[in-house]
Amino acid sequence: MSMAKPLSKLMSCVILDLDGTLINSDGIVCDVLRVHLVKFGKKWDGKRARRIVGKTPYEAAAAIVEDYELPVTADEFLSELTPIFSKKWGSIKAQPGANRLINHLRSHGVPIALASNSSKENVETKISFHRGWKESFSVILGGDEVTNGKPSPEIYLEAAKRLKMDTSTCLVIEDSLPGVTAGKAAGMEVVAVPSLPKQTDVFTSADEVINSLLDLKLEKWGLPAFEDWVEGTLPIEPWSIGGPVIKGFGRGSKVLGIPTANLSTEAYSDVLSEHPSGVYFGWAGLAGRGIYKMVMSVGWNPYFNNSEKTIEPWLLHDFDEDFYGEDLRLVIVGYIRPEANFPSLESLVAKIHEDKKIAEEALELPLYLKYRDDSYLNTSSKQNC
């Protein structure tokens, strides 16, 4: 969901955070902590992740030591984790839309800086695994190069100084509350892209809150607009998911009049964590029946307030019977919009049908039509798990 104030200034440069904003490091951090805390007889609680997002490594370590009452100091805990994290940096994936954003800004000559609470050495190590990133930044700043990390504005003020830009012309893109606070304290415009779910309401100080980098509208800030949207859709790197069709919430046909073919997310939680919530579309292969156009939602469905991230595909075909238990394979090729809440059930249904129309027409374009022949659609998902 995007919440934006009216455009009042023209931006000249962009300053980006790294962890959680450009790279999906939160998942790695949680995986490491989940394993490491067992050593102390503790179990990692993912809900506490908000306590460490956006903080310096030492502050995050101190928070964990305190929260879990560990019998070590923050320094000792950090020294244990540092070599473990160092081995993981190469496997951290870029956030959807990160490469697109960096390449776009670079190709249009927009100055870009990177400002992270991580150490300069760790920052450079992390970005070294992403081709072309290091060369794209005019300035790279680590948290160890300033006296105080975020939420202090110091790192953003220093970034503007090195860019030789006035702070009022800098657009900051951040995923955490400490980062947003730092950017605003520096006198900059800030776009928040929360890395943790259901956090939009806490970013009240941000000038705009968006669901993911895919939803960023640079023209709102006087910067060159993306030119890759096609007929109301954004082409993405295709991804796939599949499994037996299960019974869902019982609201698709009964409440919405829209028969969704639900998939269990148990075996695909890692895959879903890599993709922002929103409305996507692509092709669906149903074993023994055929291949069909498909539009689907990924996320928590704000209107129904799901407790877990789900995937709910709608096969755009009239079936005479249910097909629970049958093997369904999806190839997702494009993005339509972020998740949004609606004032009424009628407005939700109307929007879903609008999504259907957009997907049906877009899938006739050669850009998307070619994926109808993807081999995954004709291969049992059990062989691809």
Residues involved in catalysis: 17, 19, 312
Question: Which amino acid makes up residue 138?
Answer: S
Where are the alpha helices (H) located in 68-175, listed in sequence order? 74-86, 98-107, 120-127, 133-136, 154-163
| Spatial strand order in the sheet of 13-16 | 3-4, 208-209, 189-192, 170-174, 13-16, 112-115, 139-141
Kindly state the tokens that stand for 150: 């975020």
Looking at residue 226, the DSSP 8-state letter turns out to be P
313 upstream amide cis, omega within 30 of 0: no
Q: Are strands 234-246 and 327-337 parallel, antiparallel or unpaired?
A: antiparallel
Tokens of 187: 């006198």
Residue pair 215/338 in contact (Cβ under 8 Å)? The answer is: yes
**Whole-angstrom Cα distance, residue 5 to residue 2?**
10
Which secondary-structure segment (H or E) carries 248?
none
The answer for residues whose C-beta is within 8 angstroms of residue 365's C-beta and 6 or more apart is 230, 231
Short-list 369, 349, 271, 342, CA closest to 311: 271
Q: Report which residue type is found at 56.
A: T
CA pair distance 93, 214, nearest whole angstrom? 15
| Of 199, 193, 31, 171, the residue nearest 98 (C-alpha) | 193
Euclidean distance between CA atoms 365 and 356, whole angstroms: 15
